Homo-oligomer: A and B are copies of this chain.
Amino acid sequence: MKTLTISVTMLLVLCVSNARVSADSPADTARASLENYFKAWNEPDQAKRATLLAKTWAENGTYTDPTAHADGRDGLVKHIQGVMMQMKGFSITRTSEIEFHHDVFRFDWVMKDASGATITTGVDYGAFNESGAITKIVGFFGPVPTLK
């Protein structure tokens, strides 16, 4: 009976251990990272924005959209600051589910001005590392250009 009790305990430990690994998979963490990424885009306080990205944006992560390129976490914190100075009161909201495969993802978003009018829509592609931190986002504005 003692041997059986130990085995059951070991099985329980294994089950709990597997459940924890599953709950903390890189893709799950990346999903949480992207929630913080959106919070960061909507956080006017630079120190709070840096804290949000510290947990979720790889130190050497890169951000690239048609109008800008930002190297590293500090680069992104400052880039968002620059956009906020240019377009006061804007908001960025995700408008699709996030699709993941391998270590990559995509999602749609909309940027609105302070009155709620759409400034631009877009799609972001990106990648995450083994810790679930975002290493890259590449954005495009509007729909894919139609064939001429």
Contact = CB atoms under 8 A, between A and B. Distances in A.
Contacts of A127: 138
Nearest to A107: B144
This protein's copies in its complex = 2
Contacts of A97: 144-148
Given A69-B102, A101-B66, A125-B125, A108 B138 contact: no
A96 B148 CA distance: 8
Main secondary structure of the interface of A (DSSP, over half): strand
A95 interface: yes
B69 A106 contact: no
A138 B127 CA distance: 10
Nearest to A146: B96
Interface of A: 64-66, 69, 94-97, 99, 101-102, 104, 106-108, 123, 125, 127, 138, 140, 144-148
